Amino acid sequence: MHFELLRREKIFNGRIVNLVVDHVKYSSGNEAAREIIQHPGGCVVLALFDNNDILLVKQYRYPIGGDVIELPAGKLDANEDPQHCAERELREETGYVANRWTELTAIMTTPGFCDERLHIYMAQDLSMSPHGQTLEEGEQTIKLSRVPLVEAIAMVEREEIVDGKSIVGILMGERQLSG
């Protein structure tokens, strides 16, 4: 290890994230403070139809003050299995359920200051849930669209899809399908 943890300060405990400051001593003897956002992680879903269309959601994201086009996704609940989270988020945000699931990858979103890990799945053999969408209060503005996977890749290239987790999910899904 390149450092020794001297002490940890819990600065903020929020509903979604916590902020801690670790005071560390490097092997050089120098000391520093490292700010860390603790996040429970989440799941991302590339919902793929038999004709290679996928589902995208467009939703308002408060931190950037605008709409973002992305794959359905959501936060893990405490001790929740990642695939269960993916199934729940697909059902809630889109109204669809899937009979076949493939884990594509897992990513660390911003490891320079945050411990968030996202599990990315491909969902296939889709059908509508009898309950439809069950959006949370902050998701009421979600607009659902169905686009060909090749068009989603073009949207990434044109920077219409700029959300990192969605870019990874789309490109990993395309790679999985091409063998």
Active-site amino acid positions: 137
Please report how the helices 164-177 and 149-157 are oriented relative to each other, as an axis angle in degrees rounded to 10.
140
CB neighbours of 75 closer than 8 A, spacing ≥ 6?
Answer: 16, 39, 40, 41, 42, 85
Q: Would you tell me how many other CB atoms lie within 10 Å of the CB of residue 8? A: 13
| Residue 4, number of CB atoms within 10 A of its CB | 11
Q: Which residues of 46-80 are buried (b: 16+ CB within 10 A; e: fewer)?
A: bbbbeeebbbbbebeeeeeeeeebbbbbbbbeeee
User: Under DSSP, is residue 141 helix (H, G, I), strand (E, B) or coil?
Assistant: coil
